[in-house]
Structure 1
Amino acid sequence: MRTRALASEFIGTLLLVFFAVGSAVIGVEFIGTLGIALAFGFTLLALAYALGPISGCHINPAVTLGMLCARRIDVRTAVGYWIAQFVGGIAGAALLFLLAKQVPGFHADGAFGSNGYGARSAVHINTGGAFLAEVVLTFLLVFVVLAVTHRVAVVGFDGLPIGIALAVIHLVGIPLTGTSVNPARSLGPALFAGGSALSQLWLFIVAPLVGGVLAALVHRVTHPAGEDRQIADEVAAAP
């Protein structure tokens, strides 16, 4: 496994957490929900172009699991990516925590951009609803990634629909759970938020992984392995 691919996944996840989660931790009063959603989408879009040719720019364990289930990477590569992503997420949260501590009156307890349900949800969604939301939202992200990438890497304009999808996902998901769709993004902030953020963390690890697996299964039906890309109208017109 190439060291630079692992470094790419580590750095990419670190930067996603620092900048995108940072927009929620520090800038929410100034940019609102729309601004946070765009921060996530634009950050992923930029990283897709910067890191896509190196590692595929998964920077998300659910995406990596989807790639594994789609048989585009092997188990050894997936495990290496998962380690790099989780460590990168923790490092990004630590760097963000160090910066946020310089802001007078800042408190990380129970919040710090972490995800939640029940009393920690803006709309007080219950456990089952939060699980379903995270599965469906992650399904969209991973399905788009699998559909627009030919193999593993994000190249050309592949990053554009992925970034747009993540922004839309956050517009829907922020009021529900704060939007995870990425276990590594959830783990880092939860470690610094502590309390109920940690006790609810399991859902934001399990549900996105389930969504990633489902996306890979559906993708096999809509995009059969070995089949050349075809124009949608030609496919629809075929007997």
Structure 2
Amino acid sequence: MEIRSSTKYFAEMVGTFSLVLFGCGAAVVSGISTTGPAGIGLLGIAIAFGVSVVVMAYAIGGISGCHINPAITIAMLTAGKIKAGEALGYIVSQFIGATIAAGVLYCIQKGLPGWTPGEWALGSNGWGPGYLAEYNIASAFLAEAVLTFLFLFVIFGTTSKWGNGTMAGLAIGFTLVLIHLVAIPITGTSVNPARSFGPAVFAGGKALEQLWLFIVAPVVGGIAAAIVWRVLEKK
């Protein structure tokens, strides 16, 4: 039975919404607490993002493939695994889902007494002075591009004829956990343009100014992984 494109787009929107709400929500709401119990910390945030991908992979993987990430969709397009028109629908849906999730998170946070957005609010990605460990732009770009490359390499491998499709969701989710453990201090971890776009829209300021890197670097890494994988498949 063929699945309608509109159903796939809706699945991608919901999946990306869930990733941003669970992942960024964990970082913003539960990441660090100064008034109550210690927050879930870096490991907890990494697990939240990774598990979000796992649950969505099994929920919508059979519908849309669970890209929930424009870098993945563009990589799949480069590898010839999705048509251009459908890829565009996926990407638009992913950005919409991420933006709605960031809006919901913003409304939730407004209910916290004394909360003000500040720079890089709502789990926005960034770099430089004032952002987490204050890594420079070169480190931020390199980390995002290389880690996205590895992320896509795992995705291509686990979903290929050589991989174990039934375990793909877990492998991909655990890879995202590992990526976050490395990249959170550097950029807050994007490897996903939509995940960066949603929070940046509401945070504004430096988050919006620096958004370009979190669109370009993951796409570069994803395309590189697709090219490498196409070479491997031909051997």
Spell out, residue by residue over 1:34-91, the C-alpha distance to the aligned partner (whole angstroms, 9 max, x if none): 0000000011001000010000000000000110011000101110100000011101
Task: Look up the match of 1:74.
Answer: 83
Alignment of 1:122-133 (within 5 A): 122-133=132-143
Task: Look up the match of 1:86.
Answer: 95
The two structures have a TM-score, normalised by structure 1, of 0.90
- Paired residue type of 2:80: R
Alignment of 1:88-127 (within 5 A): 88-110=97-119, 111-127=121-137
- Paired residue type of 1:33: L
> Which of residues 66, 72, 75 is equivalent to 1:63?
72
Gaps of 5+ in 1: 228-239
2:225 pairs with 1:201: no
> Which of residues 182, 194, 211 is equivalent to 2:221?
211
- Paired residue type of 1:55: S
Give 3-state SS (helix, strand or coil) of 1:218's partner: helix
**Residues 192, 214 of structure 2: 8 Å contact kept:** yes
**Residues 5, 86 of structure 2: 8 Å contact kept:** no
Spell out, residue by residue over 1:125-173, the C-alpha distance to the aligned partner (whole angstroms, 9 max, x if none): 111111111001111111111111138xx95211011000000000000
RMSD: 1.5
Identity level (%): 51
Task: Look up the match of 2:166.
Answer: 156
Q: How far did residue 8 of structure 1 move?
A: 0.3
**Residues 116, 178 of structure 1: 8 Å contact kept:** yes
2:17 pairs with 1:7: no
Query: 2: CA distance between counterparts of 1:41 and 1:34?
Result: 11
Q: How far did residue 119 of structure 1 move?
A: 1.4
- Paired residue type of 2:224: L
2:35 pairs with 1:28: no
- Paired residue type of 2:177: A
**Residues 105, 122 of structure 2: 8 Å contact kept:** no
Query: 1: CA distance between counterparts of 2:231 and 2:99?
Result: 36
Query: 1: CA distance between counterparts of 2:92 and 2:151?
Result: 21
- Paired residue type of 1:36: I
Task: Look up the match of 1:147.
Answer: 157
Spell out, residue by residue over 1:5-41, the C-alpha distance to the aligned partner (whole angstroms, 9 max, x if none): 0000000001110111100111111100000000000
Query: 1: CA distance between counterparts of 2:232 and 2:130?
Result: 37
> Which of residues 3, 17, 20 is equivalent to 1:17?
20
2:198 pairs with 1:188: yes
**Residues 180, 204 of structure 1: 8 Å contact kept:** yes
Query: 1: CA distance between counterparts of 2:71 and 2:130?
Result: 23
Q: How far did residue 3 of structure 1 move?
A: 1.1
Gaps of 5+ in 2: 33-38
**Residues 53, 155 of structure 1: 8 Å contact kept:** no
Task: Look up the match of 1:176.
Answer: 186
